[in-house]
Chains A and B, each alone.
Chain A
Amino acid sequence: MALTGLFLCTFLVGHLLGNLQLILKTGEEGRRAFNEYAYFMGHNPFIKILSYVTYAAVLIHVIDGFALTIQNRKARPVRYAYNKPGANSSSASRSMAILGTLILVFLATHMANFWWKMKVKEEVPLHTYKLEMDNPMMGAANAELYYTHVPGIQPIPKDEKNIIEKGTDLYIKGTNVKVAEGYRDLHGLVIDFFSKSKNEGALFAVLFYLISMIVLAYHLLHGFQSAFQSLGINHPKYTPLIKIIGTGFAVIVPFLFAIIPVIIYMNH
């Protein structure tokens, strides 16, 4: 639990840094930054390996957690008639299994909302942008252009006659010639999902994410420092520091995650 838990903590940091692109930069710049990040995460071989490790870590963390919980429940077949656990331990530490299960529910929802659409169904459209200018050379004004991967390539208009999409690859119609690679517009998907103007259920979604982050905070509040104890790291000098860092981590990381949907909701 400790090893997978700590690994997932590092995953959280990486994920958070990427997500912050959603709010740190605005407009087209933000959109590009985020979609580039999403592309990088999906294509870099190292990240790919890392992502499988992460799936495995989640799986092991969950299975191990369930197995331990079952064992632990068996260790006390008859409960106390009167028990006062609040006198000796924090509620977070006693509720790791239930908190973890809630996080698992969140994770499933979260992945259905984004990962599923992006990776499995591939129904997220490519990133296009409108070029608002009057350029006779290019023909029509206000053309919608693909945002493409290779820098310096000439603008490729979103044109049903010339270009087809195979995933993120752009081909000239009727040929095998790949002219460029575009980006999936995950940014748009996310913004739309939390936008009060585009999604009727956005308020519900934001609240769900908010509560889930509070749950995550509680899980981390105990989990972070507990992992060190399980790995045998307990030292009169360093443990207080680990506890401070753990508390900080448990508060700051979920807080930053949580403000993203809130800000999107308010701004869009």
Chain B
Amino acid sequence: MASKFINITLKIWRQKNTTAKGGIETYSLANVSTDSSFLEMLDQLNEQLINEQKEPVAFDHDCREGICGMCSLYINGRAHGPETGTTTCQLHMRSFADGDTIYVEPWRSRAFPIVKDLVVDRSAFDRIQQAGGFVSVNTSGRTMDANAIPIPKADADKAFEAAACIGCGACVATCKNGSAMLFVGAKVSQYALLPQGKVEAKDRVLNMVRQMDEEGFGNCTNTGACEVECPKGISLENIARMNREFLTASLTTDK
């Protein structure tokens, strides 16, 4: 496709630090190539700001190929912008038209406090993982042979699909309740589907859900928004599986 150049107006949330009061600032940006990615467009804005000796906009990003999960941004009212199955770094400016006004906001969640501008703190996800998102096996390499337990391909594939979560937090950002159930459900599911994970499945789901609640995420009301906005298309099935695991574990453990 032939590239074009467009002029846009940006409405970006600026906030000095966690405790400072933030607000939306307006910027005009000219000559944005439609072949540029959204983040390259922000690079261009920052270059412009630096040339004006102003402070550039802080935003999280790293791999810029849709896998590290570091980029975020609520763009024109949607997590990772208007396209589905896409992270912000994979969003390209050809999705916008000349003269568009684009709102760029950080993820909004009590559990994801703003660090600066568009950067939020997602360490709540790490803490949930630390509460049980693992198989308690030592790293000796002296386990059994990798092929000792055959795993039905269908289960392995489903576990993989759940494990494809990149931990970006779009599910929380887009959920009207700020719920982290898709993230936690995906992790719980990955292990629940594999024989290696089944041993500690009950403790895992109880501990991870407890941590999730402590972090201040909201509850799932099954609106399904997370599944739609998830850049990796993680299925709601994983939330149901976690619910199932949680109910069973609650009813059948001594705790």
27 A–B contacts from the bound complex (CB under 8 Å) = A68-B219, A68-B221, A71-B219, A74-B218, A75-B111, A75-B179, A76-B108, A76-B218, A80-B74, A80-B105, A82-B11, A84-B76, A85-B174, A88-B229, A90-B223, A93-B221, A93-B224, A96-B221, A222-B223, A226-B222, A229-B243, A231-B243, A232-B244, A232-B246, A234-B239, A234-B240, A235-B237
Contact residues in B for A77 (Cβ distance below 8 Å): 110
Interface size band for A? 20 to 34
- B115 CB to nearest A CB, Å: 14
In the complex, whether A230 has a CB less than 8 A from a CB of chain B is yes
Which residue among A75, A82, A225, A235 has the maximum number of chain B CB atoms within 10 Å of its CB?
A75
* C-alpha spacing A79/B177, complex, angstroms: 11
Residue interface bits B176-203, CB-to-A below 8 A is 1, else 0? 1111000000000000000000000000
Verify B178–A232 contact, CB threshold 8 A: no
Verify B218–A89 contact, CB threshold 8 A: no
Residue from A72, A222, A236 in contact with B222 in the complex, judged by beta carbons closer than 8 Å: A222
In the complex, whether B216 has a CB less than 8 A from a CB of chain A is yes
Contact residues in A for B111 (Cβ distance below 8 Å): 75
In the complex, whether B24 has a CB less than 8 A from a CB of chain A is yes
In the complex, whether B245 has a CB less than 8 A from a CB of chain A is yes
Interface size band for B? 35 or more
Which residue among A76, A229, A234, A236 has the maximum number of chain B CB atoms within 10 Å of its CB?
A76
- In chain B, residues 41-85, which have Cβ atoms closer than 8 Å to a Cβ of chain A? 74, 76-78, 82
Identify the A interface with B (CB < 8 A): 68, 71-72, 74-85, 87-90, 93-94, 96, 222, 225-226, 229-236
Q: With A72-B178, A78-B108, A88-B224 in contact, is A232–B219 under 8 Å at CB?
A: no
Verify B110–A83 contact, CB threshold 8 A: no
* C-alpha spacing A87/B242, complex, angstroms: 26
* C-alpha spacing A83/B240, complex, angstroms: 27
- In chain B, residues 70-128, which have Cβ atoms closer than 8 Å to a Cβ of chain A? 74, 76-78, 82, 103, 105, 108-111
